Amino acid sequence: SLTLVASTPCFAQRDDWSAGMPADTLAQFTAQLAGDWRGTLKRFIALQAMGDAEAKAVARALTGELFSHGEPAQAALALGLAILRDTDLREQVAGVTCPVLLQYGVAPRIVARENLRLWHGAGSVMYAVQWLCAAAVLWRITAEPREPS
């Protein structure tokens, strides 16, 4: 089985994919990261913690943990954003035949929030179909006549 946590097959919006981050927002984030990577990462963490009852403490803990590992390579940060901008795995995801569990937070700040109902519905339908398939296989296995041993 496959579990996807707060993920999307295509992070950036495309003409036929509104569920991603707008290209101009991603470009702005890339420019800010190049100009002030430390401040940009702190704002990103604050955005992730927003809405938590202990947002300031959570952001402080996450920031401390992130920066406790030393400075990130700026080339790696830029490459990571380029991967998010350029990668589109929608065709590959359509071919996944194993059970898939999609997990999203209550109020994610990165994925397009207007599509959460769609993703929740898709995940629920996939979950139900997987159980129906399992039940059909079990029924078929138990219903087949067996030869005496």
Cα(7)–Cα(5) distance, integer angstroms: 5
Cα(18)–Cα(114) distance, integer angstroms: 9
Cα(148)–Cα(49) distance, integer angstroms: 63
This prediction has a pTM of 0.62
Mean of per-residue pLDDT scores for the chain: 80
Q: Does residue 86 surpass a pLDDT of 90?
A: yes
CB–CB of 49/59 below 8 Å?
Answer: yes
CB–CB of 63/44 below 8 Å?
Answer: no
What is the mean predicted confidence (pLDDT) over 20-35? 88
What is the distance of C-alpha 115 from the center of its chain? Answer: 13
What is the mean predicted confidence (pLDDT) over 109-129? 62
Cα(149)–Cα(147) distance, integer angstroms: 6
